[in-house]
Structure 1
Amino acid sequence: MLAQTHIKQQLDALRHSTVSGFVRLRVAVEVHSFLGWLAAQTLYPRIYWQARGPARPEYVALGRIHELTRPQDIQRVCDNTGVDSEDSPRYYGGLAFDPTQPGWPDFGPCRFVLPRIELVRRGECVSLCLNLWLPKRERATEFEAELLAAESALDLLQPEAPLPPLHKQDWQREDCPSHAQWQQLVAQVTAPEFQAHTPKVVLSRESRLGADDAQDDQTAISPWSLLAQWAQHAQECFHFGFQFSPQQSFISCSPERLYRREGRHLQTEALAGTIRRAGDDAIDQALAAELLADSKNRLENRLVHADILSRLAPLATRTSLTEPRILKLRLLQHLKCDIEADLKPGVCDWQLLDALHPTPAVGGAPRESALAFIREHEPYDRGWYAGACGMLSRETSEFSVAIRSALIQDGAIRLFAGAGIVAGSEPAAEWAELDNKIANVLSLLG
């Protein structure tokens, strides 16, 4: 590839320079499908990130220079992004829903990667980037080793290729918790004595899909093919995926932003309250009006935005909140309030993650008592489902809440969905909401 040759020329020029610290080399490149390019690569980790919104920047990250695997070490990420350079490093990764728990193998409670190689699309411009962290020039052996490691990674790059086809098949489905267990959990949360101290708990379900021939090369699911098709049906969402090893992948088309920080300006949101779409404009408008007027869903959203505002208060000089509006997705409609804030000087991403994650939209309110109930009673490990996934840098950081997500491993697909349980919640209606939330991806699988 000509792009690799041009970057290698820049790389060779570094041997005659005195530069040290973080360095990003880049060249323009032509790539049509980022996911097709990603699926063709052999370097791990393999990470994909596309933000929500009109500009929709798109990233692929490959390999690693450095990574962090403990939640408390995110402070070091914040420190490292403060280097005095035209380009600051971008870390891609996530926090589990409950970072105090061990989490999934490969993913753990926390994993952030500074990649060796990035593919970046902003508008019409696509760049191939090579990242280095160079020691001082007098440490000649280490300096040369870093250059050689970067060159080796470039040599492994493969040209873009078509994504493997996504074959529909028959799946055996098992829900955890079961329908009977779900009814019991909802009854516990809606009991008056429980509501007196914990007015909202977000209960969730894992739906495991298994197939006898899922290990067959002809029918095995490519996570990147699934994500590409899913994204076409979820244009209004964040699209992202993490594959730290060949054995398993986590992908998501999430409608929910945890936050976006540009300098000291913060955008976040309260996304809670759900109703279906019918595919008919008049019926959808009537359903949206019903959602806006529904006391149970308004309560659920109010608990979320009140908690977010209270958590931002010590970190911000100003906050603002919009009235609830309708966010229309392909099959669902949600209540959404937009929140903006101006952050106090010195506030960093670690403080924002600690304050905002997990939000009451995926955990409950008050946070600690809701999380205690989930830890004790939910019969599976959420892992990165409903976690905070995104990108950190000095200039801009953005995180999505990893709902509408799937874990692909061991010839099986695990789909996740949650529902906010408050006073007045009915088990059957909430169970149906869980089904509605996985219907989009299920329609692609079989």
Structure 2
Amino acid sequence: MRLSANNLQIDIINALIKLDCSSEDLIKGSEYSLYKFEAGFNNISSIIDHFQTFKKFYFLNKDKDTEILALGSWRDFNSLYHYEDIERLIESHEFLKICGAQRFKAEADSLEWHGLEDCSYFIPKVLIESTPQGVDINVILPNSFFADEQNKKQVLHELAITLDPNPKHTLTDYNHITKSISETSKNQWNKIVKAAVSKINRSQISKIVLSRKLKVSFKNPISSYGQFKTLKENNSHNSYNILFQFSPHQCFYSVTPETLFKLDGRKIFIDSLAGTTKRGANKQEDDALEQTLLTNTKELEEHRHVSSYIEDTLANLASDIEITKKEQILKLKYIQHIHTKYEGVLNENAKRSDLITYLHPTPAVAGLPKPLAIELISELETNSRGLYAAPIGYFSKDKTEFAVGLRCALVDKTDLHIYAGCGIVKDSSAEKEWNETTNKMKNFTEVIKAKSWTNFH
């Protein structure tokens, strides 16, 4: 049965009303079961805004071999202590994908990140997934569905709410800016970079990553999907496309180029991505900037801090570690990075969640030594990080993948909070680092300009 996006709710509920536990098409697990439908559409991202439910998670990896849209939640995991439950559930349910993210670090709640738990992982009610054969619509059912008629009605009611069509999804995403301000002023930035360099020169720390935030306020509530659609169109090359709506009015999106880790069976793939310059106006300038980047002592030092950390971490978690790409250039739309790629085999006694525990945060987004860098970030930065530079992705039995939430922004009603950071080492210049963060924000600021919001500057 092929389902169209327009009739998804009615067709799924009608099919499930007739379903019983003896169906040959049902895949049963100890706590949850799966019933699969074939979609009559191929473009998953085009239906993100079709549903009213606020718990939405869209994930397209940069290799373009995984694309999922998770809707609704049967169960939330809001603490790092829930890793054990997550591991147990995906081991016993080969069809489950547990999706979401966790904060960069534990921190006091802030106005823009209010309501975001330390961890925000969840078992989706519906998982729409791209496969080589097309698109599957996977409906996850708690096994209480088969207990009695009352439980069945309750599950169907919750699924109907999750699949309820959004009457606003055809509205225009045009809007008008009322204010744009960097919440870290240029003077503040100069002071915190100077303080960081001073600590580095006193050998208290070797590297720290500092971030800042640009807040753009609009007259009307922002169309999350309208913004994301344009971002996805403009930032597909060498980048993830991620959207996570974790509350009715808050939506995080990221077009990050950085893989925290990708796990296929026991095979691990990891990026070391640090050292940055802008793109050139033409090929000649672009190539010259690339060569300058690859010979820049400060940028190479920053990159090698990250690579050494990854190698040391993998030595305790994996075997057969190989460098498959060393200190080459990864080109993105507005900037280019020094890039090293690692592969290895996860040890049998290591868990998927160990990769998050020990890799995050890497020196690419925090610094070295890690505990002191995180402490200094809390002391110096003027903004809460929330999901900026945080692990975001999914767990499953056969594949698990997490990106680092960079090139990102948070929508909170009428406000768009844009985040960017840069690595500070002993030779860092506050002016150059300010310009680097400005370039990293262009994924969003250029989209705003292209939408003819002419009062943006």
Secondary structure of the residue aligned to 2:114 is coil
Identify if the C-alpha distance between structure 1 residues 311 and 171 changes in structure 2 by more than 3 Å, giving closer, same or farther.
farther
**What is the Cα-based RMSD across aligned positions, in Å?**
2.4
- Give the deviation of 1:171 after TM superposition: 4.6
Deviations 1:248-285 (A, max 9, x none): 11111111111101111111111101111123112111
Q: Distance in 1 between matches of 2:167 and 2:344?
A: 41
Q: What is aligned with 1:412?
A: 415
Match of 2:282 in 1: 280
1:381 corresponds in structure 2 to: 384
> 1:31 aligns to what?
41
TM (normalized to structure 2)?
0.89
**In the alignment, residue 396 of structure 2 is paired with which amino acid?**
S
Q: Match of 2:57?
A: 47
Distance 1:345 1:278, change over 3 A: same
Q: C-alpha separation between the residues in 2 aligned to 1:298 and 1:324?
A: 9
* Offset at residue 308 of structure 1 (A): 1.3
Q: Indicate how the Cα distance of structure 1 residues 423 and 347 shifts in structure 2: closer, same or farther if over 3 A, else same.
A: same
1:332 pairs, out of 331, 335, 339, with 335
User: Structure 1 residue 245: deviation in Å?
Assistant: 2.2
Runs of 4+ in 1 over 6 A off after TM superposition: 159-162
Any conservation in 2 of the 1:3–1:28 contact (CA below 8 Å)?
no
1:184 equivalenced with 2:191 (yes/no):
yes
Shift of 1:193: 5.7
Residues of 2 paired with 1:2 and 1:93: CA distance?
Answer: 24
Change (3 A) 1:319 1:163: farther
* Other-structure match for 1:14: 20
1:373-406, CA deviations, whole angstroms, 9 ceiling, x for partnerless residues? Answer: 0011211211111111001111111011001111
- 2: CA distance, partners of 1:195 / 1:393: 45
SS in 1 for 2:99: strand
Task: Quote the residue 1:316 is aligned against.
Answer: 318
Q: Which runs of 5+ in 2 are unaligned?
A: 1-6, 450-457
Q: Which deviates more, 189-198 or 242-251?
A: 189-198
Residue in structure 1 matching 2:355, options 331, 352, 361: 352
What runs of 5+ residues in structure 1 fail to find an aligned partner? none
Q: Secondary structure at the match of 1:278?
A: coil
SS of alignment partner, residue 420 of structure 1: strand
SS in structure 1 of the partner of residue 18 of structure 2: helix
Corresponding residue for residue 229 of structure 1 = 230
Give the aligned partner of residue 66 of structure 1. 75
Greater mean deviation of Cα atoms: 389-398 or 174-183:
174-183
Distance in 2, matches of 1:332 and 1:91, equals: 32
User: Residues of 2 paired with 1:45 and 1:336: CA distance?
Assistant: 34
Is contact 1:130-1:150 (8 Å) kept? no
CA positional deviation for 1:11: 5.8
Scaled by the length of structure 1, the TM-score of the pair is: 0.91
Q: Is the 8 A contact 1:406 1:416 kept in 2?
A: yes
Alignment-derived partner of residue 211 in structure 2 = 204
Deviation digits for residues 140-199 of structure 1, max 9, x if unmatched?
Answer: 34x851564146414744399965433263452221321111111111111266551311
Out of 267, 284, 291, the residue aligned to residue 293 of structure 2 is 291
- Alignment size in residue pairs: 434
Q: What is the SS of the residue equivalent to 1:132? A: strand
The answer (yes or no) to whether the contact 2:199–2:205 under 8 Å persists in 1 is no
1:306-334 superposed Cα distances (whole Å, 9 cap, x missing partner): 11111222111232223111000011101
Q: Distance in 2 between matches of 1:4 and 1:348?
A: 40
Identity %, equivalent residues:
25
Q: Note closer, same or farther for the CA distance 1:158–1:123 as it changes in structure 2 (3 Å cut).
A: farther
Equivalent position of 1:248 in the other structure: 250
Partners of 1:61 and 1:36 lie apart in 2 by 14
Pick one of 67, 77, 83 that aligns with 2:86. Answer: 77
Q: Is the contact made by 2:52 and 2:166 (CA closer than 8 Å) also made in structure 1?
A: no
Instruction: For 1:113-124, list aligned pairs within 5 A.
Output: 113-123=122-132
Q: CA separation in 2, counterparts of 1:294 and 1:404?
A: 23
**Any idea what SS the aligned residue of 1:259 has?**
strand
- Aligned residue number for residue 103 of structure 2: 96
Evaluate the alpha carbon distance shift between residue 101 and residue 89 of structure 1 in structure 2; reply closer, same or farther with a 3 A threshold.
farther
1:331-350 Cα distance to aligned partner (Å, 9 max, x none): 11011100112111031122
| C-alpha separation in 2, matches of 1:170 and 1:131 | 41
